[in-house]
Amino acid sequence: MPPAGEKRVDREKLKKSCTDFESILISQMLKSMRQAMTPSKVAGNGLGKDTYTSLFDQELSQSLAKRGGLGLGKKIYDRVIQREERKRPSSSETDQAGKVERGAGIRTLPNSKRGRIHVILGK
């Protein structure tokens, strides 16, 4: 259970957000790629071409992101989870009162009155 006032990350929402972010990035890359290309005579310039192309790129980017895409969504997800794990002191570092039992270095401890306490320890 997280300390009072500290929220835990909902992993499913985080995973979806990371995938959505990657999808948007891929979509923008596809859009830039299409703008850099010379117009094709095969595709034509009919009505709705821009709308169709935009929808196609959007679906393609979502599909790619769900399958791992560039790997950026997973990297972001892993990094956020890693940061959350580092934020929480482990049970071996603190007792139930929030005091440090052992170890050296800087520890961040919960404090119900002011948020957090940073403690520098030595062996």
- Model confidence at 21, in pLDDT bands (50, 70, 90)? very high
Side-chain-side CA neighbours of 86 within 13 Å: the count stands at 7
4 closest CA partner among 115, 122, 118:
115
Alpha-carbon distance of 66 to 20, in angstroms, equals: 9
Measured between alpha carbons, how far is residue 114 from residues 38, 109, 110, 111 in Å?
61, 11, 9, 6
- For the chain, give every domain's residue range: 1-88, 89-123
Measured between alpha carbons, how far is residue 55 from residues 49, 74, 93 in Å?
10, 24, 52
pLDDT in tens, 51-109: 888 899 999 999 999 898 889 999 999 999 999 888 876 555 554 445 544 555 555 55
pLDDT in tens, 5-16: 567 778 999 999
3 closest CA partner among 120, 117, 121:
117
End-to-end, the C-alpha distance of the chain in Å comes to: 29
Query: Can you say how many angstroms the Cα of residue 71 is from the centroid of all Cα atoms in its chain?
Result: 12
Taking residue 77's Cβ as centre, other Cβ atoms within 10 Å add up to 20
pTM of the model: 0.59
